[in-house]
Amino acid sequence: MRKATQRGTHWSSFAPPNFGGRLDLTVSPAGSFSGKLLNGTSSHSFTGTLTTAVAGLFPTGIATIKRPRPPDLTLNFVIDSAANRLQNAQVSDGENTVAISGWRSTWSEGEPPSAGYLGAAHSFGIEPPADPALPQGYGFASFTVKPAGTLTVIGRLADGVDFTTAGFLGPNGEVLITQTSATADSVGGILLVAPGTGPLFANTTISGSLTWSRMKQTATSRVYREGFAATSVNVFGGRYLVPASTVVAMNLEDRSDNARLSFTGANIGAPPALPDLLVQIKPGGGVLRPANNPRNTTLVIKPTTGELSGTFSLEDSNPLSPTTIVERRVTYQGQIVTHNGTAFGCGYFLLPELPSFGPPKTTTLNSPMLSGSMLLEKSPRADVTRSGTYQGLIVTRSGVASGYGFFLLADLPRVSPPTTASTSPVISGKVRLESNK
Which amino acid is present at 315?
E
74: enclosing H helix or E strand: strand 73-80
What CATH number does residue 82 fall under? Answer: 2.40.160
At residue 416 the predicted structure's pLDDT band, cuts being 50, 70 and 90, is very low
Residues 63 and 126 in one domain: no
Residues 94 and 110 in one domain: no
Section 249-270 average pLDDT: 94
Give the count of domains, the chain. Answer: 3
Residues 28 and 47 in one domain: yes
pLDDT at 383 over 80: no
Task: Please tell me the number of Cα atoms within 13 Å of 53 on its side-chain side.
Answer: 1
Residues 125 and 221 in one domain: yes
* Domain stop point among 104, 122, 145: 104
Residues 369 and 267 in one domain: yes
* 3-class DSSP assignment, residue 254: coil
> Among 54-63, 209-218, 249-258, 331-340, where is mean pLDDT lowest?
54-63
At residue 437 the predicted structure's pLDDT band, cuts being 50, 70 and 90, is low
Residue 87 structural domain = 2-104
The percentage of residues in the chain with a pLDDT greater than 70, rounded to a whole number, is 90
The percentage of residues in the chain with a pLDDT greater than 90, rounded to a whole number, is 67
Residues 193 and 218 in one domain: yes
Section 64-86 average pLDDT: 90
Which amino acid is present at 157?
L
Which pLDDT score is estimated for 5? Answer: 40
Residues 239 and 127 in one domain: yes
What pTM was estimated for this model as a whole?
Answer: 0.83
Residues 283 and 418 in one domain: no
Which pLDDT score is estimated for 412? Answer: 62
Which pLDDT score is estimated for 55? Answer: 57
* Domain stop point among 104, 121, 154: 104
Q: How far is CA 400 from the centre of its chain?
A: 61
Section 175-184 average pLDDT: 91
Residues 132 and 258 in one domain: yes
DSSP for 303-341, written as a single string: TTTTEEEEEEEEEEEETTEEEEEEEEEEEEEEEEEEETT
* Cα-only R_g, the chain: 29
Q: Which comes out higher in pLDDT, residue 429 or 369?
A: 369
pLDDT at 6 over 70: no
Residues 170 and 306 in one domain: yes
Which amino acid is present at 101?
S
Ramachandran angles phi, psi of 250, nearest 5°:
65, 15
Which pLDDT score is estimated for 415? Answer: 41
Residues 38 and 114 in one domain: no
* Domain stop point among 104, 127, 162: 104
pLDDT at 3 over 60: no
pLDDT at 242 over 60: yes
Residues 86 and 174 in one domain: no
Ramachandran angles phi, psi of 251, nearest 5°:
60, 35
